[in-house]
Each structure stands twice: as C-alpha cells, then as structure tokens.
Structure 1
C-alpha cells in the first residue's frame, strides 16, 4: 500500500502500461484538465487503469469512477481521497 500521494506521473505510467498511448497525444503536456477521450483513452482503458491502480495501491475504487472521473485531475483526486481514507483507517 502506498503512503505517498498518487501523482500525475504515476497515472501516466499506469495509463501507458494499461492501454499504451496514441502517437498523436502528448502525455507530457498540460493534460490535467483534458478529457480522457481527447487523450484517446476510452472507458475500457480507464477501467483497466483503475484496476491496476487498485492492485498496485491496495485500494478499492467505486465503479462510478470510470464514468465520473473524466480528466486526469478528477481521477487523481478520487485516488488520493481513497488513499487518505485507507491511511486514516489504518
């Protein structure tokens, strides 16, 4: 289980591992508020990404995350909130 915040770099690494990257998309740019669809990641890719995050960080994400977290910033907030909740409960 992670004790540090989940960062954009963590998310980019897991996105690349889970679904690769469209060669026309620059993940190194300012993507925090860019819709995942604009980044060429559809719901199946986000579902796989969330599964990898759950396994790697020992958390459980609600199923609605896939449909509600439309941007990297939104997903980072959900994951970090869950990590904080788990740390508080420990």
Structure 2
C-alpha cells in the first residue's frame, strides 16, 4: 500500500495549483487551507489529483472536516488503509 505524505501533497499542490512557494507545506501543516490561500476550487483540484494518483476515493461529505494539510494527509492515509483491506 502506498502511503500519502506531506511531500506527496506538496507535489500535487505544485501540479494542480502551480504554487512553487508551497514547498513549505510541511512547515504549514497545521495552518488551514483558507489561511494558506486555497479556495474550494483549488482544493477540489488537489483532491481530484490525489484520487487519480493514489487510486483512492475521497468522499466529499467527509472532506468538509479536513481543514489543514496535516488533516488531509491523515484522511487520505485512512482511506488508503480502508481500500487495501
């Protein structure tokens, strides 16, 4: 099973948002996406790329509680564990 990491999130953010300055996601892992300047459309693109790259379904209803990079990494890893079982 592949594990999703903050480095993986940084790469997906670069690919989807073109944010070269997001190399600091690891340092901002507990800052909300809103405070980092990501709107709902940017987050939707990031989630879509995660789903395609990691072959995992991330239910939109469950994503509403995911507010930080750290929470997103944990959420994705939990879904990956569930899909591997």
TM-score range, shorter chain: 0.7 to 0.9
TM-score, normalised with respect to structure 2:
0.87
Contact residue 32 and residue 69 of structure 2 kept, 8 A: yes
Q: Which has the larger radius of gyration?
A: 1
Report how many residues are paired: 84
Matches within 5 A, 1:63-82: 63-64=60-61, 65=63, 67-82=64-79
Q: Does 1:62 align with 2:62?
A: no
**1:40 to partner: Cα distance:** 1.4
Contact residue 6 and residue 25 of structure 2 kept, 8 A: no
Q: Deviations over 1:6-43 (max 9, x none)?
A: 000000110111112275x6625511101111211111
**1:82 to partner: Cα distance:** 0.4
Identify unmatched segments of 5+ residues in structure 1. Answer: none
Q: 2:39 aligns with which of 37, 42, 47?
A: 42
